[in-house]
Structure 1
Amino acid sequence: MSDGGAGRGVSVIVAAHRAHDTIARAVRSLLAQDWTAWEAVIVSDDGTDYRPTLQAAGIDDPRLVFASTGRIGAGAPAARNVGLKAARLALVAPLDADDRFRPGRLSALVPLAVRHGAAFDNVAVVRDTDGSPLRCLYGDEQAPALLDGACFLETSVPMFPVVRRDLVPGWDEDVDFCDDVVFNVRVLDAAGPVPLVSTPFYEYRQRAGSITFSADSGERAERCYRRALDRLAGDGFGIRDESLRHRFMQAIVVKRARNAAYDAAFRAGRCANFQEFLALGEG
């Protein structure tokens, strides 16, 4: 399947930090899409070149664009913003370098994003070591047809929309742990309720060595939540809907309490990461 017309191409932004072991899998998931009008903007945030790694894996495609933050460990938001500047197509979609799109994702979401400004899908959380499922964001009977800001703030699994370029707010680099939450709230503030596809087309991989496995992840999350509250009390992240800003502040209070419970469970050895903690039913 092609793009079906102009203005329906997708710039997939991949922030890459120490991702040489996983980048080929992420890119192969794009090569497997039946929607072929995409480019992958791969942004190095570790001072290394990802082109030779992909070529060694047999991947050399003209749709691959390479960029760099020029720094080491600038953070995913900074890398995504570099990718956004380099992106050339009408739609934007983030993809973490250790995750993957399942087949059919772009053909399902792109037409919806073109019409409605953005589109989300269900998310499958998978243990990276053996590919076993941990949980799904929504069961088939739970997924709403439309996602708005209030509904999104009740979720606890990262979500990765396809967004029309004119509605992309960029990523806030001062909240680098929960930047995806801020990004999605800002998208939904701009677009209003948008379609949610109940099929879990995005595979969120839980991998040892990732930020959610780190011993200080609970502390980093707490710092992020404090910074987000400060921003909401100040410039409000530019969120125009006052009720949504208020809901966001309330949601952070809930997330902080859940994070404290997770931190205790992690330090007690009951879980290895936040998604395993949620799968225990303690969150």
Structure 2
Amino acid sequence: MFISVVMPAYKAEHTIAHSVQSALDQVHNNFELVISIDDQVDYPKLLADSGINDPRLVFTDTGAVGTGSSNARNVGLNKATGRYIAVLDADDQFAPTKLGRVATALEQYPLVTTGLDVMDDVGQHLRYVGCGGNNRLLAAADYKFTNISMDSMVAHDRERVPVQYDIDLPCLVDLGLMLDAFCYVEGSFHLAQPLHRYYKQRQSISIGPEASQRYVRIKRLLLERLQSSHYPLFGGETAIQGLISFLEHSLAAEKLFDAQCQMNPSLIFEDHLESRLKVLLGDQDSAQY
């Protein structure tokens, strides 16, 4: 199976070489890596200077600076030649067997997700997300209670799930894609192993200044969309109510997160949210093991 991996690149000079190398080191080597440049940096030269020069690398450009991750990804999608799409951010990495495991799952399922190994910006392990239990089909209603954050580990068959990224979302763009995808399929097939390494960068959209306020605003927007039937989900009302429930729990956790960080500066939002979900829903319904 041929897979197109899409990588948006913005201010990625210090991380992209490691991210690209993690793709080139895949056991499954039948792929292209489409790098969508959104900052006018000469990434072909930067990578070549790092000793990376591979015919599987394809470069495209948004033609501007900072048009946003959604637009950069869409430009990459439009350049990609494969039916099957995976995403790799320019500061994250694939585990060596990720594409192989995903390719096998895509033969049967049009939407595939994997567990995450979440690390800080120096590569120290923080936690796993979505790595509990067996590989399984996650209905849309249950999806976020397993993958409680960071939805960038997705792969899809774009003939059966013809989605692009929502340019109106400044963050949570991967969750926005998943909501659109759930309009075509009942859920995702989830590989419950840490096949995707997600790095929390100090100044990234997910952990930089005022990140909590951005997240609250977009979570409220997604909640309003779900409540107004903006997303005609394949799973109907059950799917809608499950996703609404998660966003409501997540927004409630956001209200207390800053105060909790004052007492525990090393706290990350995923740990804070999970602890609340365990209390509210019981251990069997929380995501992280």
Same fold (TM over 0.5): yes
- Quote the residue 1:246 is aligned against: 241
Q: Which residue of 2 aligns with 1:27?
A: 20
When residues 260 and 70 of structure 1 are mapped into structure 2, their CA distance, relative to the original with a 3 A threshold, is farther
1:105 and 1:139 mapped to 2: Cα distance? 14
Give the RMSD, CA atoms, in angstroms.
2.2
Quote the Cα distance in structure 2 between the aligned partners of 1:62 and 1:99: 21
Give deviations 1:85-133, integer Å, cap 9, x for gaps.
111011001111100000111111112112211222111111221x221
Say which is worse superposed, 10-19 or 71-80, in terms of deviation: 71-80
Structure 1 gap segments, 5+ residues each: 1-7
2: CA distance, partners of 1:51 / 1:169: 28
Q: Which moved more, 1:82-91 or 1:204-213?
A: 204-213
The secondary structure found in structure 2 opposite 1:134 is strand
- 2:167 is aligned to 173
Do the aligned partners of residues 139 and 64 (structure 1) sit closer, same or farther apart at CA in structure 2, a change above 3 Å counting?
A: closer
Deviation for aligned residue 1:277? 4.7
Alignment partners' CA distance in 2, 1:267 and 1:237: 37
Range with greater deviation from structure 2 (252-261 or 236-245): 236-245
Residue equivalent to 1:5:
none
> Which residue of 2 is the match for residue 229 of structure 1?
223
Q: 1:1-283 to 2 correspondence within 5 Å?
A: 8-129=1-122, 131-140=123-132, 142-143=133-134, 145-154=136-145, 155-159=147-151, 160-166=153-159, 167-234=161-228, 236-243=230-237, 244-266=239-261, 270-271=265-266, 273-275=268-270, 277=272, 281=275
- Determine if contact 1:13/1:93 at 8 Å carries over to the other structure: yes
Secondary structure of the corresponding residue to residue 97 of structure 1: coil
Paired residues in the alignment total 273
Report if aligned partners of 1:178, 1:221 keep a CA contact under 8 Å in 2.
yes
- Match for 2:139: what amino acid? D
Q: Which runs of 5+ in 2 are unaligned?
A: 278-289
**Is this contact kept in 2: 1:26–1:98, CA < 8 A?**
yes
Superposition deviation, residue 199 in structure 1: 1.8
CA-CA distance at 1:188 after TM superposition: 3.6
Q: Give identity over the alignment, percent.
A: 27
Q: How far apart are the structure 2 equivalents of 1:282 and 1:196? A: 23
Amino acid at match of 2:165: W
Query: Structure 2-normalised TM-score?
Result: 0.86
Kindly state the Cα deviation for residue 9 of structure 1 after the two structures are TM-superposed.
Answer: 0.9
Runs of 4+ deviating beyond 4 Å: 266-269, 275-279
CA gap of 1:67–1:106, structure 2 versus 1, over 3 A, is same
Question: What SS class does the counterpart of residue 237 from structure 1 fall into?
Answer: coil
- State the Cα deviation string for residues 206-247 of structure 1 (Å, max 9, x = none): 122212221210111112123223333446134344312233
- What CA deviation, in whole Å up to 9, does each residue of 1:193-214 have, x standing for no partner? 4432222111111122212221
